[in-house]
């Protein structure tokens, strides 16, 4: 680890520079500490899950590239990997599960039969390792009943009822998770439903989806236990021409029915800025869930990095003053590199982006804007890019007793040598 004296000195200098702008770095770090980034289980095993007989099936627009050695193949291995990730990140984190990752103990449990018993060991484990909350996604893909590309919008009533029951059970499980964890569980609904080629009757499919959602949400749960969120998409593999649950559909449904909306940053046109959507949506929806990804040319789920899009997203969330109504999580799956490293790079980039936003002298920038001093506004925004916010993050890492700077690389390399490589040999 870096010399703590140097870290302290660098932080003191950074603190002085930000203080000149009216920014309290200690307060910014305290606020950052309250942002518990949701880390998704499916990066650890390439969206495999632990079902017997279902998760081997492809489908639903999910495509993982790469076959880097050592991916988790059991619940114990996934938990082991995740605990390593936690040891390399400052602050508290949340954990996001797919319903297909239940602890089924090798038994065949179809998705319309899941219940809290299949997730109790996850809750117990999360409490043991200090995870602050668990979120849950119903898994409406990679299943024989989704092979035609439709689930909740299916015209096949038997198939549609299967998926309605699955999502109902997911919500019930999520509410119990929230109750036991003492933190609301975000139950995020994403569907693969769509058409590969040009459909004629989009309206009927969306009417069916609306009816399915109405039936699902008829059962009410306390908001202190459950947050319902809806995740739209521009297109996916096998749904290039039309996605039934588009952003516009879910946004309209959420506004009318007091639900949250999930913004997956890979689910929009490459020229769209998801940060711009925050202030447009927050006044009208119950809340926003962020699934932060990095699409390259399309929804390709690259590892999150500290880029302009992430920076704007974090800035707009912080500037909104409604940070507590935004659930922050990452969502990507890359099998072409060390998976633990992928977690840590993405989570740290997300934390760094929110710290950068929290260190912004927003009041001063707004004063420039109100006075139409646009040169001054632009100049200050540019000046901030060179401020030593990295020294503030290093100090945060040191205070939380996790590796500072790039030092975590060596720890991951050692973990790969001692654990992942042996796992590959054993297979």
Question: Is 218 labeled as catalytic in the residue annotation?
Answer: no
Say which of 40, 267, 277, 327 is annotated catalytic: 267
Smallest CA-to-CA distance from 151 within 279, 16, 23, 61 is with 61
Say which of 145, 231, 360, 394 is annotated catalytic: 231
CA–CA gap between residue 371 and residue 364 (Å, rounded): 11
Question: Is 301 labeled as catalytic in the residue annotation?
Answer: yes
Q: Do residues 78 and 72 touch, judged by C-beta distance below 8 A?
A: yes
Say which of 190, 259, 316, 327 is annotated catalytic: 190
The CB-based long-range contact list for 209-217 (8 Å cut-off, 24+ gap) reads: 209/152, 209/153, 209/244, 209/245, 209/249, 210/253, 212/152, 212/153, 212/160, 212/163, 212/164, 213/152, 213/189, 213/253, 213/257, 215/164, 216/152, 216/164, 216/167, 216/168, 216/171, 217/257, 217/259
Radius of gyration (C-alpha) of the chain in whole angstroms:
22
Say which of 331, 360, 394, 416 is annotated catalytic: 331
Question: Is 231 labeled as catalytic in the residue annotation?
Answer: yes
Question: Is 299 labeled as catalytic in the residue annotation?
Answer: yes
Say which of 166, 291, 327, 387 is annotated catalytic: 291
Q: Do residues 83 and 41 touch, judged by C-beta distance below 8 A?
A: no
Q: Do residues 100 and 54 touch, judged by C-beta distance below 8 A?
A: yes
Say which of 210, 233, 247, 259 is annotated catalytic: 233
User: Is beta strand 185-189 parallel, antiparallel or unpaired with respect to 194-195?
Assistant: unpaired
CA–CA gap between residue 158 and residue 144 (Å, rounded): 13
Say which of 176, 299, 316, 334 is annotated catalytic: 299
Say which of 46, 51, 228, 264 is annotated catalytic: 264
Question: Is 307 labeled as catalytic in the residue annotation?
Answer: no
Question: Is 376 labeled as catalytic in the residue annotation?
Answer: no
Question: Is 267 labeled as catalytic in the residue annotation?
Answer: yes
- For the chain, give me the number of helices (H) and strands (E)? 15, 10
Say which of 46, 301, 334, 416 is annotated catalytic: 301
CA–CA gap between residue 31 and residue 53 (Å, rounded): 44
Name beta bridge partners: 97: 136
Active site amino acids: 190, 231, 233, 264, 267, 291, 299, 301, 331
């Amino acid at each position: 680890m870096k010399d703590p004296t140097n870290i302290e000195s660098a932080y003191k200098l950074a603190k002085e520079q930000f203080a000149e702008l009216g920014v309290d770095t200690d307060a910014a770090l305290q606020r950052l500490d309250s942002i518990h980034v949701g880390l998704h289980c499916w990066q650890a095993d390439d969206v495999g899950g632990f079902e017997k007989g279902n998760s081997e099936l492809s489908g639903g627009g999910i495509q993982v590239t790469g076959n880097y050695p050592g991916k988790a193949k059991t619940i114990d291995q996934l938990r082991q990997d995740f605990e390593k990730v936690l040891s390399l990140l400052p602050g508290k984190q949340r954990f996001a599960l797919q319903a297909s990752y239940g602890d089924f103990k090798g038994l065949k449990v179809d998705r319309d039969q899941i219940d809290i018993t299949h997730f109790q060991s996850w809750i117990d484990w999360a409490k043991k390792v200090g995870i602050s909350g668990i979120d849950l996604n119903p898994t409406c893909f990679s299943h024989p009943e989704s092979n035609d590309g439709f689930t909740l919008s299916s015209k096949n009533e038997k198939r549609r009822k299967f998926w309605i029951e699955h999502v109902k059970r997911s919500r019930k499980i999520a509410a119990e998770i929230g109750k036991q964890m003492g933190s609301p569980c975000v139950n995020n609904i994403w569907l693969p439903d769509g058409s590969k080629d040009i459909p004629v009757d989009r309206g009927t499919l969306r009417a069916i989806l609306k009816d399915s959602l109405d039936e699902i949400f008829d059962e009410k749960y306390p908001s202190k236990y459950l947050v319902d969120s809806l995740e739209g998409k521009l297109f996916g593999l096998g749904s290039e021409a039309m996605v039934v649950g588009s952003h516009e559909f879910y946004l309209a449904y959420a506004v009318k029915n007091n639900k949250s909306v999930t913004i997956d940053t890979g689910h929009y046109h490459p020229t769209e800025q998801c940060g711009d959507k925050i202030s447009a949506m927050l006044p009208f929806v119950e809340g926003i869930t962020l699934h932060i990804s990095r699409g390259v040319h399309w929804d390709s789920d690259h590892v999150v990095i500290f880029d302009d899009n992430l920076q704007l997203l974090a800035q707009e969330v912080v500037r909104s003053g409604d940070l507590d109504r935004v659930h922050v999580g990452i969502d990507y799956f890359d099998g072409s590199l060390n998976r633990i490293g992928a977690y840590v790079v993405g989570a740290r980039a997300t934390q760094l982006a929110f710290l950068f936003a929290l260190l912004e002298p927003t009041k001063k920038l707004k004063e420039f804007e109100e006075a139409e001093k646009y040169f001054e506004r632009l100049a200050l925004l540019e000046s901030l890019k060179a401020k030593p916010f990295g020294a503030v993050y290093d100090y945060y890492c040191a205070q939380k007793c996790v590796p500072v700077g790039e030092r975590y690389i060596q720890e991951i390399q050692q973990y790969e040598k001692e654990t992942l490589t042996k796992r590959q040999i054993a297979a």
